[in-house]
Amino acid sequence: MAPQATPPRLGRLLIVLASWMLVGAAAAQTDTATIEAQRASFKQVYAAASQGGDSWRAMANNLQHYPLYPYLQAASLEHDIQLIDRPTVEAYLKQYPDLIPTGDLRRNFLMELARRQDWSNFQAMYQPGLGDALTCDALQARLEGGTTLDFNKDLAELWAEPSLPSACDPVLQAAHDQGLLTKERLWTRIDTAMDAGKSDSISDMTQWLPDDDAKAAQRIVLALTDPAAAVAAAKDWPDTSHSRQAVTLALVRLARRQSTTADTAWQDLQSRFQLTPSQRNNVLNALAVFHATDYDPDALARLVSLPAAAQTDTSREWRVRAALAMQDWNAVLAAIDALTPAQQQNDEWLYFRARALSQLGRTGDAQRAYATAAVQSSYFGYLAADHQNASYALCVLKPAVSPEGEQAVLAMPGMQRAFELFAVGMLRAARREWTATLADADTETLRQAVNLADQRGWYDRAVFTFNKGEALGYYTLRFPLASQDGVVQQAQEAGIDPSWAYGILRQESAWMSDAQSGADARGLMQLLPSTGADVARKNGLPWNGGNSLFDPAVNIALGTRYLAAMAARFDDSPWLASAAYNAGAARVNQWLDARGSLPPDVFVATMPFKETREYVARVMYYSVIYDWRLHGTVSPISSRMPLIGKPYSRPNAQDPRKDISCTAPPEAAPASPAPTPPTTVPSTPGVPTKDKVH
């Protein structure tokens, strides 16, 4: 058929529209080229400004209208903080009164003025609410001017803190010299510090106590720092109220580390001290719980016989876990019945109620119980669904996004700075701008902002923003694929399931590529520099030092190989390797030696570390979500948890897969980890955050 002729008028209109589109595309290309050039220039100029002086100004002629221009001068002033004067700082504060660098500069210059003991300029620039150190510096400035302290007005708020910075030392000494630090006030703060485990604060206060009270405070310090030594010394302590505090504290803390030793000490000391009922219950509770975490065969009997007043949510749950470890299914049901009503509705105990009923042959009751648990979008919900051969509950929502809403977000100066800071790799500063700008934002604005962040590859914003309520249903944003970082390819080359690698990454860093733990684990998959170097050497991969772990591509390449090596130590089992990634392989091997015959779900539930139990559950759940994201259907969670000692094989095209369906409200899904400080993550491979997390 011959083509029909286009009417002349319509043809002209199409030509005009095409021209507009070409102009718009050219403009967009020009804008993109301009912003990329500005970003490249900013990085160079910022490096120069961070060396101090004014040489950066000549380099920044094309950046004066760039959103991050104020960061340049701030960087220079921060470098020269010991050289600059008050007028220079105040000029910047006046020019940029509401910016984050302004607050930082004021705070840091005040600290410099305090170091100089330039109290006149300090008082002229000081503002309340800048932290305990500067609060104390402000009080010292007043003291230097001859003012005396008023405890209620000046010190009461500080005194409620369990620990204070060294800047407060002169102020506290002055308060003591004025007679404000009475024995009663000192003991009030000692109690606060004791509850927070701040032994240094207690030691500092002993200098102001009478001799007998100082000795009593030192007993508390000993109980905090060396509970074994404290219980050994306690036989010579007087039976005073403070000694009872120390004895109770020492026994509870020792039970966490050595439950049998603590038990022996308790037998010797319980008649030596007239402990209060509350103190006795604290000791009895700790002994019962930590005998259970230490795999004591008598733990269940101890937990069952624990007086009602000594029971806590933790001890009640460990009664269930101890019964599970013994696979005494009647005892499991009895322990679940002894939980509080709120605890019984937890998806873990809904699942294990069904599991116990099934083991006892009560098939009908078990299936009804499994059905109740299976509506949860969670690790336990999916385990329950597997027992019913049911689909997995997953209610997926897509946030409504509008061009107008996005433009409104992009028009916010704070968001312009946040997105540009992300683009130039200043991630911590980017998060600060985001938080400050959106602190009071409504739900609609947050949705638009997160969607824009996702488009730019700033994936952690969805994880930290959509962490409760209906927003948990935004699975495609909360569980990004980030194909540009090479997770799938690197996992396949390492010989592990990509969805599992994604699950580990999501749990370890929540997609914060600059995450750094207290143990110095770095990047998306939280590798120590020493581990990264070792993995690179063994796999013939390039290694450019510890900071290269903040590069997502480098981190993923090394992290997937490390994960594969960990899996190889445990028959390639992803659930056991996940536990080892969190708690350490040696620790997991100890647990296997003690309970290696247990089914996987029971083994996980009876691991001593709460952190590791939750870690494994989250990683397995996240692996399912990522499997769905990659394939649309999922490999059953139970297939990811082979029996101990049974080799595991990655899912293949022939293996059975499950569908998902919306059978539960989005809020049934487990909440994401709460937002953490930018330089920390919830856990570190092989380094549990506590010696015994129950």
Per residue in 588-638, pLDDT tens?
A: 999 999 999 999 999 999 999 999 999 999 999 999 999 999 999 999 999
Q: pLDDT value at position 485? A: 81
**What local confidence, expressed as pLDDT, does residue 311 receive?**
97
Residues in the chain: 694
Query: What is residue 9's predicted lDDT score, i.e. its pLDDT?
Result: 46
452, 538 in Cβ contact below 8 A? no
Predicted pLDDT of residue 297? 93
HEC-encoded secondary structure of 539-557 = HCCCCCCHHHHHCHHHHHH
- CA quadruple 282, 286, 289, 291: dihedral, nearest 10: -140
Question: Does position 519 have pLDDT exceeding 80, yes or no?
Answer: yes
* Residue among 459, 457, 466, 461 at smallest CA distance from 398: 466
Does residue 385 surpass a pLDDT of 50? yes
Is the pLDDT score of 686 beyond 50? no
Residue 396 CA to its chain's centroid (Å): 25
Residues 6+ apart with CB under 8 A from 294: 259, 260, 608
Q: How confident is the model at residue 580 (pLDDT cuts 50, 70, 90)?
A: very high
| Predicted local confidence at residue 694, as pLDDT | 64
pLDDT-derived band at 399, boundaries 50, 70, 90:
confident
Element (H, E) at 383: helix 379-388
Q: How far is CA 156 from CA 160, 185, 269, 550, in A?
A: 6, 10, 37, 43
Bridge partners of 684? 687
**Residue 342 in tokens:** 């709120």
pLDDT tier at 30, thresholds 50, 70, 90:
low
Question: 480 with 506: CB under 8 angstroms?
Answer: no
Q: Tokens for 657, please give them.
A: 């897969």
User: How far apart, in whole angstroms, are the C-alpha atoms of residue 371 and residue 385?
Assistant: 7
Q: In terms of Cα–Cα distance, which of 31, 80, 24 is closest to 55?
A: 80
Rounded Cα distance between 80 and 72, Å, is 13
Query: What pLDDT is recorded for position 357?
Result: 98
Q: What is the mean pLDDT of residues 296-311?
A: 96
| Angle, helices 552-568/529-539, rounded to nearest 10 degrees | 80
| pLDDT-based confidence at residue 8 (cuts at 50, 70, 90) | very low
Is residue 310 predicted with pLDDT exceeding 60? yes
pLDDT of residue 29: 53
Long-range contacts of 346-350 (CB under 8 A, 24+ apart): 347/373, 347/376, 347/378, 347/380, 347/381, 348/380, 348/605, 349/320, 350/376, 350/380, 350/384
Cα–Cα dist 559/541, whole Å: 12
Task: Look at residue 128 and give its three-state secondary structure.
Answer: coil
| pLDDT higher than threshold 50 for residue 205 | yes
Residue 75 near residue 46 (C-beta atoms within 8 A): yes
Calpha distance 500→497 (Å, rounded): 5
Torsion of CA 612, 527, 458, 481, to 10 degrees: -70
What are the counts of helices (DSSP H) followed by strands (DSSP E) for the chain?
37, 2
Residue 494 C-beta-side C-alpha neighbours within 13 Å = 31
- Cα gap 402→552, rounded to integer Å: 30
Given a cut of 80, is residue 20 above it in pLDDT? no
Distance CA 318, CA 288 (A): 9
Report pLDDT for 484: 77
Alpha helices by DSSP H, listed for 456-546, are 460-465, 475-478, 487-494, 498-509, 529-539
Quick one: average pLDDT of 74-98? Answer: 97
Look at the alpha carbons of 38, 44, 46, 49 in this order and tell me if their dihedral is positive or negative. negative
Per-residue confidence (pLDDT) for residue 133, from 0 to 100: 98
199 pLDDT exceeds 70? yes
Token pair of 15 as six digits: 């030509």
- pLDDT, one tens digit per residue, over 38-71 is 999 999 999 999 999 999 999 999 999 999 999 9
Structure confidence by residue, pLDDT tens digits, 455-506: 999 999 999 999 999 999 999 999 999 877 899 999 999 999 999 999 999 9
- Tell me the pLDDT tens digit for each residue of 103-154: 999 999 999 999 999 999 999 999 999 999 999 999 999 999 999 999 999 9
What pTM value is reported for the model? 0.90
Q: Which residues, other chains included, contact 566 with Cβ-Cβ below 8 Å and sequence gap of 6+?
A: 577, 580, 581, 585
Computed over every residue of the chain, the mean pLDDT equals: 91
User: Taking 80 as the threshold, does the pLDDT of residue 684 lie above it?
Assistant: no
Contacts 24+ apart (CB under 8 A), 103-109: 104/74, 104/78, 105/74, 105/77, 105/78, 106/130, 107/131, 107/134, 108/78, 108/81, 109/81, 109/84
Look at residue 666 and tell me whether its pLDDT is greater than 90. no
Decide if pLDDT at 7 tops 60: no
CB burial of 3-17 (b: ≥16 within 10 Å; e: otherwise) equals eeeeeeeeeeeeeee
Is the pLDDT reported for residue 450 higher than 80? yes
Q: What is the DSSP code string of 415-460?
A: HHHHHHHHHTT-HHHHHHHHHHHTTT--HHHHHHHHHHHHHTT-TH
Q: So what's the pLDDT on residue 31?
A: 80
Mean pLDDT (whole number) for 282-308: 96
Query: Does the pLDDT of residue 688 top 80, yes or no?
Result: no
Residue 186's pLDDT is: 98
